[in-house]
Each structure stands twice: as structure tokens, then as C-alpha cells.
Amino acid sequence: MNVIEALEKRKSTRAYLPKPVEKEKLVAILRAARHAPSGTNAQPWQVAVVSGKKKAELAGAMENAFRERGEGTMDYHYYPLEWHEPFKKRKVTCGAQLYSALKIDRSDKERRLEQWIANYRAFDAPVVLFFFIDPGMQKGSFLDFGMFIQSIMLAAVEEGLATCAQAALGQYPALVKDFLGYSRDTILLCGMALGYEDKEAPVNNYRTEREEVEVFTRFFD
């Protein structure tokens, strides 16, 4: 598989098989992703790979936190405070496609809520990755980290695995840091579900649209 094929095949996967992921594959993915570029070769990434009993305990704690007090607050603003077009329309369309694939009606608040809570279980993927960055690093290192995360997702495709990068997994930073033994000063960027895709699950059988190159590009000769 070449890089372009991996880019086109990668998608946000929200249903996984109950099949453990071999540690050798996880190490191979991270070994490849570490070659992502970073300014001054700072390599600002810190990664926690959580599976098995630990993953179940942490997922349960995050789900309980949501049920008790609602959505938590991330260490930084991932999304805009106010949505404008064309981004607002893309956001709404994305959500509509998800619930349509699951056959969840707009008025079915209970099922919509349960689907949201599945975020905190990393959609029951066998592995969840948490990404941390030193608080002294600035926006440039956030860009670098994004390239590292993308590299993980592409390497996962090569290994026959599926992923879903999740901002929701960063909504309870203090809980996650305390559970995993990271300093409270560390910034939790996000998390990622990782595992073998359940290809029969309806939620995995739709694709969000991408704009044509001409929409977001200007050529200057």
C-alpha cells in the first residue's frame, strides 16, 4: 500500500472487533510515526497506550464522570467558541451522517446520548492512545503533534488496523492524568481509538465528503 492509498482508506472508525491488538504492531506503528517532522526536532509527543483491564477501568471512570456531571473541559479550546460558515454546515452534515448510519432519529435523545457516551469507551476499541505535550510548548509544536498523530493513523492502515482520533477523550484531563500518573501540568491533547474494524457495523459504512481541491486552493503562477 502506498501513502496515497493509505490516506484515502483511513477513516474515523466507531465500531471494533473484540480482538486484541498485538503489541508488536503497536510498537511498529509508533516506530514509524516517530519520523514525523517537528520544528528543531523537538519531538514534543508523549504517548500513553492503554489496553486490557486498565483501559476498561479508565473508560468506566470517564463514562461515570460524564453521567455525573456532563461533558468535561479540555486543557485547551479544540473547537471554535462560535461556529461560522462553511464550517458550521460541515459540522452539522457530519453529525447527520453519523446518526443516519445508526438509524437514530433526531428526536431520540436517549440513543443519541448513549452514542455520545460511547466516545468515552473509545467505541469499545481494544486499545486507546492518549497524547500529552509539555505545557511549555507552543502552537508550532501542536502542529508537529498533528503530523505525528496522522502518521500513527496511516501506519495503522498499513498494519491492517483502524483508528478514530477523539477530542472527547481529552475532556477529563485531570482524571486521565491522575489515573495514568502524568503530571497535572501536562497538556492532554486528545485520544485515539485503535483496533480491528468491525466491517459489518453500519456506523463504519459511510464516508464524510471532502471538498474538491479547487475549493480550498489558489494557484499563483
Each residue of 174-189: pLDDT tens digit? 999 999 999 999 999 9
Joined grid coordinates for residue 95: 453529525
Each residue of 60-97: pLDDT tens digit? 999 999 999 999 999 999 999 999 999 999 999 999 99
Mean of the per-residue pLDDT values of the chain: 96
Q: Over range 17-38, report the average pLDDT.
A: 98
Each residue of 97-112: pLDDT tens digit? 998 898 898 888 999 9
Q: Is 221 domain-assigned?
A: no
Q: Is 164 domain-assigned?
A: yes
Q: Is 168 domain-assigned?
A: yes
Cβ–Cβ under 8 Å, residues 208 and 97: yes
Q: Is 74 domain-assigned?
A: yes
Could you tell me the pLDDT band of residue 156, with boundaries at 50, 70 and 90?
Answer: very high
Q: Is 150 domain-assigned?
A: no
Range of the domain at 197: 14-34+41-138+158-206
The CATH number that applies at residue 85 is 3.40.109.10
Number of domains making up the chain: 1
